[in-house]
Amino acid sequence: MKENKRKLLKITGNIIKKYRGIKSISLLSNEIELSKSIWSEVEKGNKDIQLTTLWRIAEGLNIKPSELLKEIENTLDNNFSFIENSDINYK
């Protein structure tokens, strides 16, 4: 499970960094009232954030939170799960 968590955090960070582009972390973190250090740790894949923080980051990047989550989901392997031996089929 720890490996899957690291994978999810790394992918999330990479996608956030991609959307941030050349915008500064300082500017965006100030806009959404999130510390620069937390934003930086999220992008590095070192910080597990709450849904409310992910939502604020998406808004700061001018994308819908659902778009951000969808890209994360689409980047993960089809069989990604935190539940071992999962046979979950999403519809």
Read off the pTM: 0.86
Residue range 2-75 in CATH 3.30.565.10:
no
Reported as a single tens digit per residue, the pLDDT across 48-80 is 999 999 999 999 999 999 999 999 999 998 888
pLDDT tier at 90, thresholds 50, 70, 90: low
Please name the amino acid found at residue 34: L
Per-residue model confidence (pLDDT) at position 89: 60
pLDDT (tens digit per residue) in 18-41: 999 999 999 999 999 999 999 999
